[in-house]
Amino acid sequence: MGWLVRRVIRLLVLVLLLPRLALTAALGLLARPDALVLRLTAEVPDHAAGWRRLFAAQHVLSLEEALDALEAARDHARLRLVIVLLDRAGLSLAQAEALAQALDEVRAAGKQALVWVDGTTAPCLLVACAADRALAVPEAQLEFVGLRVRAVFLAELLELIGVVPALDREGPYKTAADMFTQRSMTPAHREMSESLGADLYEQVVGAFVAGRGLPRDRVVEAIDDAPVSHRAAVARRLIDGLAYKDEVEARGAALLGLERGLRTTGPGPLLRRRRDGDLLRDALRDRPVVALVPLSGTIVPGETGRGLPAHAAAALLEALREQPRVRAVVVRIDSPGGSATASDDLWRAVRRLDQEKPVVASLGRVAASGGYYAAVGARRIVAQPSTLTGSIGIVAGKLHLRPALERLGVGFEGPSFGARAGMFDPDRGFTEDERLAARRELERFYRVFLERVAEGRRLPLFDVERLAQGRVYTGRQALALGLVDRLGGVRTAVDEARALAGISRPHALTRVDLPRGWPGVFAAEGAVLEAALGPLLTLAALSRERALVWCPVEVDGV
């Protein structure tokens, strides 16, 4: 009965859309574009949300849409050139790697690529290195001046205001506690930061060496001399030339050897053409698909809330188990972790789904601590070379606020019933008995974390213990250590899922999002408010949790 209802609804929709589909097809035959033009600007979202079109004055192209358009351009018979305009684009290094990989595939198909940059950050330069020709706005300067792994320490401030951290951790590299307990980097913290920073730096330098054909010492010298003008960058062969945005299409025509003007198309027609083809193919039968599920933000318990509500995500993954058309699932994880119990709930949902149909975890900018915990429930893990990965460790405890509150004239008094009553209250510290009890629970959950990783990655527990201790790795380092299976972006993960499910057709993908309420919608668009209050709101949400698998590592410059 359900099959018949779906058929009737799809056929009805198809009949209503036939005039538009016919018109679109006719215009497609008449149009003979030479080039696809993609413009990425501002903070580039990983995925497009339907409500963005309602609330944004101008639709902001997402990474997902850009990659879809580049894939369509790669397969388009008439298109000979792809132009990517990075117009003050706020790309992450992981996003840049995905775009560079897509441009490599376009060029491998015999087409040319031109990248224009207004804002020569490290990620934008990495994309430009993948092009046949890289142009930059004339009167500007090289913005990439290196990178650093930044840590914030609050111990002195907390002491000044009378807040006493009562925190414990498992793993010397688990630096979430250091923010509150240390005044500077511990030896382990510094060692990890130097390793992370060195590998990320080499990835950027390596892009210039491979893409621009430059000796490594010349690239390093240019970065050390930055900021330098774009004119100087041309002389150093970091970019090919200078152009204002209105001159780019003429440069593209020259690249193709065209005397007439360049005929261009935007991503819209290509994406509509693909969607229309899928609509026609799906009208008469239910074809198997791979479901893409974006999971991003701090992991919190419950059905709703700021970040990634684990129960809502688990319910969505559970529903996918019951959908026969969905043959495989890609979970796109971009999370530094959060609540330990919520991360375990999410792991369980991924693991249960994988027992029914293959699940591939695609790691974004960061999939560390609780984010990595959830990922090991999948059958395969795919990461970008720059993905912050691992941080297998745990931190627990509380902030003892009584000294600070007493300075403000706030007192506490009342009877207790039970040997450990008030153990987690913020108005007193731990007794020795309570500290030992909290330590036992910390060690127990750390052991669970290690066992989850050992099982999911099929590694001996001893090896996992050696790799764990809260240490963060880049995706490239994690691959060498066996913590991930492949390097690549969402497209690589989807291909892996298709292969595991035995799906041969290339466009077998459907996206399934977590339900979001109005507060989540406006929080996503309120960039200024988010930048100011985001970290505080995250800490407030996590402060209620007894144990955290959370990774606060930040890298500036990428």
Q: Which residues contact 548 (CB under 8 A, 6 or more apart)?
A: 176, 337, 338, 339, 340, 369, 370, 394, 395, 396, 542
Position 384 pLDDT exceeds 70:
yes
* Chain segment 387-411, per-residue pLDDT in tens: 999 999 999 888 888 888 888 888 8
> Under DSSP, is residue 393 helix (H, G, I), strand (E, B) or coil?
coil
* Chain segment 402-448, per-residue pLDDT in tens: 888 888 888 888 888 888 888 888 888 888 998 999 999 999 999 99
Average pLDDT, the chain: 87
Residue type for position 328:
A
Name the residue among 479, 484, 452 with its Cα closest to residue 465.
Answer: 452
Distance between CA atoms of residues 528 and 531, nearest Å? 5
Confidence class for position 307, pLDDT limits 50, 70, 90: confident
* Chain segment 278-300, per-residue pLDDT in tens: 665 565 566 789 999 999 999 99
Instruction: Tell me the average pLDDT across 310-323.
Output: 95
pLDDT of residue 419: 85
Position 318 pLDDT exceeds 80:
yes
* Chain segment 477-494, per-residue pLDDT in tens: 999 999 999 999 999 999
Report CA 103 to chain centroid distance, whole Å.
19
**134-158 as b/e: b if 16+ CB within 10 A:** bbbbeebebbbbebebebebbbeeb
pLDDT of residue 23: 57
pLDDT of residue 533: 54
CATH of 31-145+226-272, one of 3.40.50.150, 3.40.50.620, 3.40.50.10320, 3.90.226.10: 3.90.226.10
466-to-93, 172, 174, 198, 392 alpha-carbon distances in Å: 28, 12, 14, 21, 10
Can you identify the CATH homologous superfamily of domain 287-556?
2-enoyl-CoA Hydratase; Chain A, domain 1 (3.90.226.10)
Instruction: Tell me the average pLDDT across 455-474.
Output: 96
* Chain segment 112-129, per-residue pLDDT in tens: 999 999 999 999 999 999
Which residue is it, tokens 């009553």? Answer: 421
Instruction: Tell me the average pLDDT across 261-269.
Output: 90
Q: Quote the tokens at residue 393.
A: 């460790």
pTM, two decimal places: 0.89
Fold match, 31-145+226-272 / 287-556: yes
Distance between CA atoms of residues 5 and 263, nearest Å? 44
Render 13-51 in DSSP notation, one character per residue: HHHHHHHHHHHHHHHHHH---SEEEEEEEEE--SS--TT
Cα Rg for the chain, rounded, in angstroms? 26
Which residue is it, tokens 């706030």? Answer: 410
Taking the chain, what is the end-to-end CA distance rounded to the nearest angstrom?
53
> Could you tell me what percent of the chain has a pLDDT over 70?
84
Q: Where are the domains of the chain?
A: 31-145+226-272, 287-556
pLDDT of residue 57: 42
Distance between CA atoms of residues 186 and 188, nearest Å? 5
CB-based burial label for 5 (10 Å; 0-12, 13-18, 19+):
exposed
